[in-house]
Structure 1
Amino acid sequence: MSYRSTVARQPQSLADTLKAARAELMGMDLKPLASGVIAVTGIGASYAAAVVVAAELVRRGKRAFAVRSGEMMAGHDIADTVIALSHRGRSVETVEALRKLPKARSLAITNNPDSPLAKAATAHIRLDNGADATPSSTGYTATLLAAGLAVDAITGESSADWDAIAPLTRDVQRRATEKMPRLAELFRDRRAIDCVGAGAAIGTADGASLLLREAARLPASGYETRHYLHGPMESMDATTGVVLFGDARELTLAENLDAIGCPSLLVTSDSGIRDTGKLTVVTVPGSDDLIMRGIIDIFVPQLLAAELSDAAGLTDVKFRYKQSDTKITEDA
């Protein structure tokens, strides 16, 4: 299945995952996972999702942090609970992270209950996102959705209308699609693209940079907003591009970048800022729930990555670098 087609079918993949994850959660008690320190872990795009999930746990008053699975492979006792994210549940590092912390309570979120990660965890939630492509689209957003439901179950409260996820997805995809011709023109032939956000949006920025690297083979990096102001933005100019996520300092930063002629995309719920010069704004619905907002925001760079992939003649190309030690084989 093509990358664009998987991006387009997310209203259905999210509706299917909502139904599947809810059904599994009916028979679980995740409240014991709320005590102590919670580590949210993953590798690649799953780590970007982990940053979003950890930020929402912190917002709800929990002691939580995101950590790359590779950093947990040494087995240090750093958490009482581990929430492990891996679309197919076969990432070597994430499975090993759970195996090295056998005393910790653990919850795995994958699309396969028979996967190595699901078997290594004390609890598991299944995704039902259907087919995915590279870069990941349905797998990433379905993981966030299931994690959002898990956070609700862990904390005993909810701050998002998950039943609205399918129509909300269609609405944001429509808004983003309307801006793609302008963005395709402004972002064509960039020598580098930075992605910037604060809090949970650090994860979204990281995920967006990975989309651009995988789909369009563009040098792209993710940065935290305030850190970005302290030097990293100095290399950006008319030959580069910046994608920003947020409603606060990101607005002024977007205007700063436009003033020096750097093409920029701002994904924000602030309706008071408009397209101008080389700045393009995609206005999205706001959400207090940071996981819901993370799902909403990622739809825009998913479509931008598709545009830039097409422009570079890289539509649905396969990865060039084959790794032999990052996935556990099906028969292992």
Structure 2
Amino acid sequence: VDQLRIIQANEDGSEFIRVERNGGSVLVVKDNDLQPKAARSYFIESVKRNKGEFYISDINLNREYGKLEFPYKSVIRLSLPIFSSSGERYGFIIMNVNAQFLLSQMEQTLVGNQLLFVTDSEGFFVSHPDSDKSFSRDLNPMVNWASEFESPSKIGRAKIKQTAQTNSSLYTVTRAFTINGNQQTAPFFLHTALSQSEVAALINEKRISVYSVIGVVTLIFVSVLLFVHRSNSKNIEQAKVRGESVAIIAISKDAIFSVDSAGVVKSWNMAAESLFGIPSQLILNHHYSSFEQLSLLGLESVLTKGGKQSTFTTPYTDDEKEEHTLLITASTIWGEQSQFSGVAVVIRDVTDERKAKDAIER
């Protein structure tokens, strides 16, 4: 607060008392320095106010003795009427508040290259990005909103075109600023603006950001698709190879079967059925030791422990009491995590080869 005064509601608008701030001190002005204020707009408006009704002035430059105070001092005035106990109007109390702090706070809310215009109720500039056009009512009355922009000022968002001299447009957001909610006319308006080129740059920046995100998402999506495709292709190839292997095993003349790490039979080909006389429907998913034909082959150490490939021969007598010599090859099956998961056994009847060898040796 720079000044606090009581002004009488008489013909001259005489100051009854005035207290001023001078640096860190507060001074009471002498009687012969008190001034008439009847010609000032704030006097005319203040004496119209009813009991308990505030008046808030526009922001303008302070005047003393009819002349602008220098250095320039922006002020906003708040007044409250004074009535006697009988209800007769005596005058009003009014204080001058330094508005520079308020304007500075407004400017600090700006982001990036935003511009701030502050206008009073008649369109004169209180604050302008070009400081020479600020306080235009007091310093340059020819400059106002209408002289700067082709579009009228209105509350809300708008695209306004500047005058032909600049031939550029601004995007603005306009808000009315009131201190007293009961005041019917807003004392001034805030216009936050951004040039069309800045808006275009922001849009392009956002567009690039969105495109970048879309590009990254697309790249990730394509990578996932390629991975899935490669995995599916690999699975299909493995299934094809597995199918071919199953077909080869099925028609092989050698007896081929496999057991898991627990000794349960998981595969059993036709040659194994023929050699041991055990159908696949009977032996699959049963422990190999449950069948005497297999338990006599001496496979226990290989089937239960795994390890390196093992090859050995063993005699075998079939159900018709015929003697056979079997060449057995047992190979360990390893899982995906390199764990022992079972054994594959290939059995070849080498009885004829053994007899031929014995005959040659004799």
TM band (smaller chain): under 0.3
- Whose relative contact order is higher, 1 or 2, with alpha carbons under 8 Å and at least 6 apart? 1
The structure with the greater share of residues assigned to helix is: 1
The structure with the greater share of residues assigned to strand is: 2
